[in-house]
Structure 1
Amino acid sequence: MAVVGVAAVGALLLASCGQSGSDGTDDASGSGSSAVGNAKKNPIVALLLPENATARYEARDKPTFEKELAKSCPTCQLRYYNAAGDAGKQLSQAESALTEGASVLVIDPVDSNAAGAAVASARRQGAKVMSYDRVIYNAGVDYAVKFDNVQQGAVGMQSLLDKLKKDGKTSGNVVMMNGDPVDSGAKPEKEGAHGAIDSSGFTVAAEYDTKGWSAANAQNQMQQAITKLGASDIDGVYAGNDGMATGVIAALKSAGVKPMPPVTGLDTQLDAIQNMVAGDLYESTYLPVETEAQIGARAAAALATGKKPSGDLLNGTVDDGAQKVPAYLLESIAVTMENMKEILIDSGYLTVDQICTADYKKACVKAGLS
C-alpha cells in the first residue's frame, strides 16, 4: 500500500500543468481600468497560511507553492501571509491582500467559520477563493485542495490497533488526543479514528480535544489520563499530530511509564521521526504536503487566469456545510520503522544525516540507518 501511495505521489508530481475550461468571469480586482488591466496581466495570488508552530507550513507548503506558481503562471505575483494562529490577524491579512488587488485568495483558515468573512470580502471585489488544507465553512469557495481527513484519522488509529494486535492484544484501553475543534479537519479526522476503533474490541478509555493542537496541552491532558486510568492500564495512545504526540510522550516519561505504550502521530516531522528511531513514537502519518502545495498552486494559476481547475486537479468534492465544492483530496500513508526508510529516506523527503544527529547516533546504528 505504501509503495502504491509513493508511486501515485510521484506520478502526480510529474503530471501536466495544462488547464482547460473557463467560468466566463473576469479575475480583475481593484478600482479603475488601469487596476483591472494590471490584474489581468500580472494577477496577484495571495497565500494565507494559518500558523508557524507546525514546521510544515514555512518549510514545506510555502516554498513548494511559490515554486510551482512561478512555473504554472509566470506572470502571477505571489503575496504570502502567515497568521501565527490568530484568526483576526488572518482576516486583516486577507483584506490587505484584496486592497493590493489580489485576484485569488488561497486560504488555510485558522478558524473555518471566521474565514467566511474573508470570502465575502473577496466576492465583493470579484476575487476567487480556494480552501487550502482545511475547509472554510458555509462560504461557497471556488475550489478546495486538502487531505481526506477521515482517511487520515483512520490510518493513524488502524496502525495503532494493528500494533496492539501484533503484540497479542485483542482488547485494551486507548487514549485519544484529537485536534482543535475550530479546525475543520479535526472533526472528520476524529470520525475516521473512531471508525477504526469503535468496533475493534478496544476501548477509548479517555478522550480529549486539544486546543491549538498544542504539545503542552496534550501533555497536560495525558497527565490527566494517567491519573484517571493508571499508567499500567494504558495500552496505546492515538494523537492527532506529531506535536501532540511529543507532549504525550513527555507525560508518559514523566510518570515513569515503562515500557512505553505505542503512540501515534501525524505529519512525519523530523523530531517525530527521531522519536521513532529512538523507540518512543510508534507511527507518524505521512502527508504528501508538497503534492498538496503543487496542486494548490496549479489550481490558483488556473483561477488567476480565468479558468476552472479541471482534469487531474479534480477527483471529488468537499462539503462545506452549505454546498459541494469542487476539490482534490489526497490520501495519507502510515509510517513506522518498517517502512520509514522506503517512504521518507529513499524518496528524498528526509536524509540519514538529518535524522541521525549526535543524540540519535546509537539509535540509528541499532535501526540500521548508519
Structure 2
Amino acid sequence: MMTHIPRARRSLLAAATLATLALTLSACSTSDPAAGGAGGDAPIVALLLPENQTSRYEARDKPTFEAELKKSCPECVLKYYNAAGDANKQLSQAESALTEGAAVLVIDPVDSNAAASMVGSAKRQKVAVMSYDRVIYNADVDYAVKFDNEQQGAVGMKSLLDKLAAEGKTSGNIVMMNGDPVDSGAAPEKRGAHSVIDGSGYTIAAEYDTKKWSAENAQNQMQQAITAIGAENIDGVYAGNDGMATGVIAALKSAGVSPMPPVTGLDTQLDAIQKMVAGDLYESTYLPVEQEATIAARAAAELARGKVPAGDLVNGDVDDQSQKVPAYLLESIAVTMENMREILIDSGYLTIEQICTPEYAAACSSAGLR
C-alpha cells in the first residue's frame, strides 16, 4: 500500500522544493544589506550549519532558510557559516558572527555539549539563540526547531522489520549502525530504533555508534560485523543515515553478498534513491527539511525583532538536560520503492531525470519509472 500524503502536505513539499531550486542558483554566503536597502542598522541573522558531507545542508537547508528569511524579514541580513564537521571551527565562526553584530544565532551544533559555550557568549551580549536540527545541551537557548529523532529512528527500524516479516522472517539477525554520540540527535534516534526492535523477536547481532556518521567508518564496522557473524547470517541492517548505508552496502558487496539483505538509511539523498532503484537500498527516511528550514527562518525573524516565537511556530518542547525549550518538532516518513514516486517525485522533491541517469536507466525501466 502507498502511504497517503495529504494534499496540503504535497503542496507544501512542492512549494518548498521549488523555492530551494530557485535559490540554489542565486544564493550567496552573505546577504548584501545594500541590496535590500536595509542599511547599517539591519539586524544580522547568523546561520551556523555543522558539516558539508551530508548534501542536505548546502543544497536544502541553507537556500530554503535564506529564501524564507528574505520574505519574513526583508530588513534582515543573513551571515552563513559551515563548520565542515569541526567543533572548534564552529566556535570560531560563532565568535565571528557575534563580533560582526549578529542579533540572532541559529546553530546546528557539531558537538551538542561544546556548543553551550557559544550560547553563553551570545547571552552575555544579549543575542538570541535558536538550536536548529539538534539540541544544544545545558544552554540558555530561546527556541528550537528539529525533527522528532525518536520517531525518526522508529520509522527506519519499523520499515526494516516490516519488510522481513513480509518475507516470512519473524526472527533474524539485525546489524545496527547508529549515529555519532556527540550529535544530540543520535541518542534519541537510537532509542527510537530500539523501541521497535527490543522485544520484537529479532536479534541485534552487532551494534555500533559511528563517528561523524561517516560512510567509511560504517563500511569498516560492517566488515567487522560480517567477520564476526558471517555474511550469510545477516538478515537486515539498520543504518542511521544514507551515508552510513552506502558504507554498509559497499562492505556487503565486497563480501560477495547477493542478493542484498534489506538495508535502511535516512535523508533520501539522490544517490541513496538511485541505490534504492537499483535494489541495493531498501528504505530511506524522508525528512521534510524545507519545512524545517522555513519554520526556523520565520522564528529567526521573530527573534531578530525582539519577539518570542509563538502560535503556529511552537508545537512542543525539547529537553536540553537543564530546561524545557519551546520548540517546533517535525515528523519523518519512510520511503521505499512502494511510495517513492508519490512522496519524492510527485511532490517535486526529485525528478525522474535526476534519478534516471544513464547508469540507472535500465533499473529505472525495470522499476516502472520510465
Give me the TM-score of the superposition, normalised by structure 1: 0.92
Rounded Cα–Cα distance in structure 2 between residues aligned with 1:13 and 1:314: 23
Mean CA deviation greater in 288-297 or 304-313? 304-313
Q: Deviations over 1:30-55 (max 9, x none)?
A: xxxxxxx988x410000000000000
Deviations 1:168-224 (CA, angstroms, capped at 9, x unpaired): 001000000000000000000000000000021101110000000000000000000
Letter in 2 for 1:126: K
CA deviations 1:202-259 (Å, max 9, x no partner) are 0111000000000000000000000000011000000000000000000000000111
Which position in structure 1 is the counterpart of 2:30?
none
- 1:10-49 paired onto structure 2 within 5 Å: 10=11, 41-49=41-49
Q: Which amino acid aligns with 1:71?
A: K
- Could you say which residue in structure 2 is the equivalent of 1:87? 87
Aligned partners of 2:355 and 2:318: how far apart in 1? 36
Q: Distance in 2 between matches of 1:67 and 1:286?
A: 21
Q: Secondary structure at the match of 1:321?
A: coil
How many aligned positions are there? 348
**Residue equivalent to 1:318:** 318
1:3 aligns with 2:4: yes
Equivalent residues in 2 for 1:237-248 (5 A)?
Answer: 237-248=237-248
CA distance in structure 2 between the aligned counterparts of 1:90 and 1:58, rounded to whole angstroms: 16
Match of 2:279 in 1: 279
Change (3 A) 1:9 1:73: farther
* Letter of the 1:295 counterpart: I
Output the CA distance in 2 between the equivalents of 1:228 and 1:118.
42
Superposition deviation, residue 6 in structure 1: 7.0
Q: CA deviation at 1:9?
A: 6.5
Q: Say which SS state the counterpart of residue 4 (structure 2) adopts.
A: helix
| Cα separation, 1, equivalents of 2:193 and 2:185 | 12
Kept in 2, the 8 Å contact 1:46–1:79? The answer is: yes
Query: What is the 5 A alignment of 1:226-265?
Result: 226-265=226-265
Question: Secondary structure of 1:243's partner?
Answer: helix
RMSD after superposition: 1.7
Give 1:14 shift: 8.2
- Consecutive unaligned residues of structure 1, counting only runs of 5 or more, are 16-36
Q: Could you tell me whether the CA contact under 8 Å between 2:13 and 2:347 is conserved in 1?
A: no
Whole-Å separation in 1 of the counterparts to 2:288 and 2:147: 9
Change (3 A) 1:159 1:102: same
Give 1:71 deviation, angstroms.
0.2
Following superposition, the deviation at residue 8 of structure 1 comes to 3.8
More displaced 10-residue stretch of structure 1: 3-12 or 325-334: 3-12
Partner residue in 1 for 2:98 = 98
CA contact (8 A) 1:50 1:90 kept: yes
Q: C-alpha displacement at 1:4, in angstroms?
A: 3.8
Deviation, structure 1 residue 7: 3.8
2:127 counterpart residue number: 127
Residue 259 of structure 2 aligns to a residue whose secondary structure is coil
Q: Distance in 2 between matches of 1:343 and 1:300?
A: 28
Contact persistence 2:13–2:288 (CA under 8 A): no
Question: Counterpart amino acid of 1:307?
Answer: K
In the other structure, the counterpart of 2:144 is 144
Whole-angstrom distance in 2 between the partners of 1:153 and 1:90 = 27
Q: Distance in 2 between matches of 1:58 and 1:253?
A: 30
- 1:326 to 1:12, Cα distance in 2 relative to 1, 3 A: farther
Q: Distance in 2 between matches of 1:366 and 1:254?
A: 25
Taking a change above 3 Å as real, the CA distance of residues 3 and 297 of structure 1, as seen in their structure-2 partners, is: same
* 2:13 and 2:348 in contact (8 A); partners too: no
Task: State how far apart, in whole Å, the 2-side matches of 1:337 and 1:174 are.
Answer: 21
Inter-partner Cα distance in structure 2 for 1:350 and 1:203: 36
Q: How far, CA to CA, are the matches of 1:281 and 1:358 in structure 2?
A: 19
> Do 2:11 and 2:347's aligned partners in 1 also have CA atoms closer than 8 Å?
no
Residues in 2 aligned to 1:53 and 1:278: alpha-carbon distance in whole angstroms: 23
* Aligned-residue identity in percent: 78
Aligned to 2:111: 111
Cα offset for 1:2?
3.6
- Note the residue ranges of structure 2 that are not aligned, 5 or more in a row: 17-37
Aligned positions of 1:221-370 closer than 5 A: 221-370=221-370
Q: Tell me the alpha carbon deviations over residues 64-107 of structure 1, each in whole angstroms, 9 at most, x when there is no partner.
A: 00000000000000000000000000000000000000010000
| Equivalent in the alignment of 2:25 | none
Aligned counterparts of 2:369 and 2:325: Cα–Cα separation in 1: 44
| 4+ aligned runs moved over 6 Å, structure 1 | 12-15
Counterpart Cα distance in 1 of 2:68 and 2:280: 36
SS of the residue corresponding to residue 3 of structure 1 reads coil
Contact preservation (8 Å) 2:136, 2:184: yes
1:3 CA drift (Å): 2.5
